[in-house]
Chain A
């Protein structure tokens, strides 16, 4: 019982941490390199713990992120829903990919996410972002193996599932 509660808090904690990291600013030079943390953490959990991650959860996390970001309500909800849907659809296969293939799949997912964001922003009357805006998915994919191993290791140490 206690173990279960701990693992639930760990799950919620990582998601909250991802949302806060999204808000933490980087120096102006590193700014385009900032990965989209909520997507990465949600991806990890959708691969590792299928019962917890549902489309509804992705929607709620996205709404929370929108509330914090204050751009358009529903924008990140849409992006995260699409991302989690694809991840869950191919979950069984993604899980058994070697790490580099998994990272490539993550890259594809993140690029897809950026394209969705671009469509939303342009439809909302925004301007096209600068070219450096496209770096972020690559950084996210490069960080994926480390994030995955780190979270897996922490989970093993805490002996939670």
Chain B
């Protein structure tokens, strides 16, 4: 701003030039915002500037790391012992469950081979650590300490020990930003475990709950029902816990029921998370089945390949759900 120090009345220092400058800068900022909103420049710029941005993230994450280290260093022995005991019990329980599951999983595998499907129960995961950085978007995001150099790609699902946390939104060389399932701009296709009803869970404005705004009035939904990923939309693999319904009420319009759900994952306490590497099947209808039958040169002229349409199944619903709206 052009300062006019020798002006007779310094109490009114601003002048027309200052206002003009302000207008120019504001206009510039608005142009930038519109261009960024349209083209997503910021992330390309951030990728370029990652040499500066990422050390700053690590620096800003230091206090959180320090607090964590201090809480371990100064925790009293008894609490650590208790925690250790609890973890041991959990491990024992989990191992026992796993042993029982192993037989079932094998049986499942065999049955699936018989049915000739390609779903597998194995998980291909990558461990990642949360960096404590506040990106200012009302806490709907997490920053992870792995990035493009570790093979992370946008759209990868992120889970913790209890359930689905979200999906990778943007990737920098050594960090990645995760969009949580509680983000109002996020939707995840779910199935209610008890009744098998398929619906979509959106993030909510309060930031710690999920909203299911369009459940049919006749549907059987109760508080306490568990939500699993349905696998529709091709973004999240099926069968992961998403949350638990806490309340159901008729919508204001009277056309649907509205449910609120609590996320299963520890969205604000998790320090270590898992990135799923095997993406679900690609979107769209399955590839057309090859017509079986005699080779075309041997077939009678009037004959139609008999099995041309027998193997196709109805296409999955359009894949708009599951990706950021």
Binding site for B on A (CB under 8 A): 19-20, 22-26, 28, 31, 34, 50-51, 54-56, 58-59, 62, 66-75, 77-78, 81-82, 85, 88-89, 91-93, 120, 124, 127-130, 133
Report how many A-B pairs have Cβ atoms within 8 Å: 128
Which one of B41, B56, B57, B170 has the greatest number of beta carbons of chain A within 10 Å?
B56
Of chain B, the residue at the smallest CB distance from A23 is B60
Binary flags per residue of B180-207, CB closer than 8 Å to A gives 1, else 0: 0000110000000000000000000111
Whether A23 contacts B135 in the complex (CB less than 8 A), given A70-B170, A93-B11, comes out as yes
Are B60 and A133 interface neighbours, CB within 8 A?
Answer: no
A52 and B115 alpha carbons, distance in the complex (Å): 73
Binding site for A on B (CB under 8 A): 1, 3, 10-11, 13-14, 18, 21-22, 25-26, 28-33, 35-37, 41-43, 45-46, 49, 53, 56-57, 59-60, 63-64, 132-139, 170, 177, 184-185, 205-207, 268
Whether A22 contacts B136 in the complex (CB less than 8 A), given A51-B3, A68-B53, comes out as yes
Closest chain-B Cβ to A27's Cβ sits at a distance in Å of 9
Residues of A contacting B207 in the complex (Cβ-Cβ under 8 angstroms): 130
A127 and B59 alpha carbons, distance in the complex (Å): 30
Choose among A54, A70, A72 the residue that contacts B177 (Cβ–Cβ < 8 A): A70
Are B42 and A66 interface neighbours, CB within 8 A?
Answer: yes
Residues of B contacting A78 in the complex (Cβ-Cβ under 8 angstroms): 25-26, 29-30, 33
A129 and B184 alpha carbons, distance in the complex (Å): 11
Of chain B, the residue at the smallest CB distance from A36 is B136
Whether A91 contacts B134 in the complex (CB less than 8 A), given A74-B32, A77-B32, comes out as no
Are B137 and A71 interface neighbours, CB within 8 A?
Answer: yes
* 10 further interface pairs, Cβ-Cβ under 8 Å (given A25-B64, A92-B11): A22-B134, A23-B135, A24-B64, A34-B134, A59-B28, A69-B136, A70-B177, A81-B29, A120-B33, A124-B33
Q: List 25 A-B contacts (CB under 8 A).
A: A20-B56, A23-B57, A25-B60, A28-B139, A31-B134, A59-B29, A67-B42, A67-B46, A67-B49, A69-B135, A69-B136, A69-B137, A70-B177, A71-B135, A72-B36, A73-B35, A73-B36, A77-B25, A78-B30, A82-B22, A85-B18, A85-B22, A88-B1, A88-B13, A130-B205
